[in-house]
Amino acid sequence: MAVHTIVFGSHTNILFLTKYPNKLTFEPINTKPIIAIIGGGPAALMLAAQLDTRKYEVAIYDRKKSVGRKFLVAGEGGLNLTYSSPTDELIAQYSPSEFMASSLKQFTNTDLIQWLSDIDIPTFVGSSNRVFPEQGLKPIEVLNKIVEHISGKGVKFHLGTEWIGWNKENELCFNGLKGIRADFTVFALGGASWKVTGSDGSWAQPFVNRGVNVLPFRAANCAFGVNWDKKFISTHAGKPLKNITLSFNGHAAKGELIISTFGLEGNALYALSHKLQETLLTTEKTTIYLDLKPTMTATQIKEKYTKTKLSKVTDILKEDLNLDRTTVALLKQYTDKETFMDINGLAKHIKALPITLTKSDDIDKAISTLGGIALNEVDEYFQIRKISNTYAIGEMLDWYAPTGGYLLQGCFSMGVALAKHLNALEVE
Ligand SMILES: Cc1cc2nc3c(=O)[nH]c(=O)nc-3n(C[C@H](O)[C@H](O)[C@H](O)COP(=O)(O)OP(=O)(O)OC[C@H]3O[C@@H](n4cnc5c(N)ncnc54)[C@H](O)[C@@H]3O)c2cc1C
């Protein structure tokens, strides 16, 4: 029996040439529509895991020799998969939340936890409501279980395959390969930080060439520069400022900061990084305010101060107010002598210590990036309006979430939402 392959458009019709005693007949067997997923990060992997492979031929292309490199990097600091909170509170963490709401409702944090458990990835909720793989389960094991699940569904992986754009026939072009046609193409190429993981934002130009608005990449969830006093930083670099509240332009974030030679970093700052970046677009520096004692009001601080048996201000701060050595040194650094000796001025500074931030850190060191495909370039199903049957999901779109598992949850939810949409399409 001879098998001939004839290509009509992007569908491949295989004609089986069957020999009967007196005549030749052709029995056409239509293969399934093809979905090409370009990029192999969390958004792509979840999409592939949820697509109906009885209906579609699904292939993942990634320029790296293995998928999920940034997912593994995320695992180095503790793989924070999602955040345990009611759905409304979860959605409120995203910006713009209206854009992310539909996906997050279709696949919530509890859905993610259940799905992970179904493929033998048990999780636990940490003390800060962050959700992690159960202790002892390494990030590479988590990734392998996800990849095994996807492979088991018949999804093909084309690794070491870099997408470089489209040719004149609108075929997908990869380095060293002939043009490829797909019925549906989903891009999930990530943002532009941690280039070593394969996500470098170099995908932007082919989209710009097709008239898609790609906004400049900027660091998010990143450190910001501070011009520290040399003596202060030589003693306190690497030290944490625990249980503080950071305020900026009417927004506040509780958490921790780490003092570094570059400036400040940590979850309290990451949470407001997109707001800070907006301001730094038009100014060279900006001021944040640190509440070093959020559990007490200024009045309570003053009461403690007036009732103390201690005489030295530094001792009162350490003994009566429980401020550590680094916090006291920071307070001294940003308070003139007169204010430091006056309880009204001192209490005011403890509750709102002004610190000037100069610039964000190098984009490559950022946990995530702002910018990418402008949200008005895609419809409610993430379909790129200017390129038919072509979608974009994950960090390559211009949305923001703070660290805390929200980024992965957002990517996974988009993958599920798009899979539901594609699975429901009536295709020939
Ligand atoms: C240090 C660090 C820690 C983090 N910690 C957490 C955490 O604890 N919790 C959390 O929620 N989030 C965390 N994140 C963020 C999270 O990892 C990302 O938001 C997430 O990986 C984005 O997923 P994605 O699928 O959109 O893209 P990516 O994971 O960036 O994947 C994109 C893929 O596309 C491929 N690609 C790119 N260009 C091409 C091309 N031209 N051709 C072919 N393939 C290409 C890349 O090789 C890559 O595999 C962390 C990030 C970093 C850097």
With a 6 A CB cut-off, is 44 part of the ligand 1 pocket?
yes
In the chain, count H helices and then E strands: 16, 21
Burial class (CB in 10 A: 0-12, 13-18, 19+), 170: middle
Closest ligand 1 atom, CA of 198?
Answer: 47
Q: Tell me which DSSP letter residue 404 carries.
A: S
- Other Cβ atoms within 10 Å of 111 Cβ, number: 18
Span from the CA of 202 to the centroid of ligand 1 (angstroms): 14
Residue spans of the domains in the chain: they are: 34-220+367-424, 224-357
pLDDT in tens, 162-171: 999 999 999 9
Kindly report each contact of residues 176-180 with a partner whose C-beta sits within 8 Å and lies 24 or more positions away, as own/partner.
180/36
Tens-place pLDDT, residues 55-96: 999 999 999 999 999 999 999 988 999 999 999 999 999 999
According to CATH, the topology of domain 34-220+367-424 is FAD/NAD(P)-binding domain (3.50.50)
- Any ligand 1 atom below 6 A from CB of 194: yes
How does pLDDT run across 286-327, given as a tens digit for each residue?
999 999 999 999 999 999 999 999 999 999 999 999 999 999
39 lines ligand 1 (CB under 6 A): yes
Q: Is 395 in the pocket of ligand 1 (CB under 6 A)?
A: yes
Cα(385) to ligand 1 centroid in Å equals 24
Among residues 10, 50, 31, which one has the least CA distance to residue 423?
A: 50
Q: Give the integer Cα–Cα distance in Å for 325 and 249.
A: 28
Q: Cα–Cα distances in Å, from 111 out to 104, 114, 119, 381?
A: 10, 5, 13, 20
Please give the model's pTM, rounded to 2 decimal places: 0.91
CA–CA gap between residue 312 and residue 186 (Å, rounded): 65
How far is ligand 1, taken at its centre, from the CA of residue 190, in Å?
5
Q: Where are the alpha helices (DSSP H) in 260-395?
A: 267-270, 273-280, 298-307, 313-315, 325-333, 337-341, 343-351
Does residue 23 surpass a pLDDT of 70?
no
pLDDT at 12 exceeding the cut of 80: no
Mean pLDDT of all residues in the chain? 93
Cβ of 408 below 6 Å from ligand 1: yes
47 Cα to the center of ligand 1, angstroms: 14
Pocket flag, ligand 1, residue 413 (CB < 6 Å): no
**Cβ atoms of 343 and 250 closer than 8 Å:** no
Please check whether residue 56 is in contact with residue 33, taking contact to mean a CB–CB distance below 8 angstroms.
yes
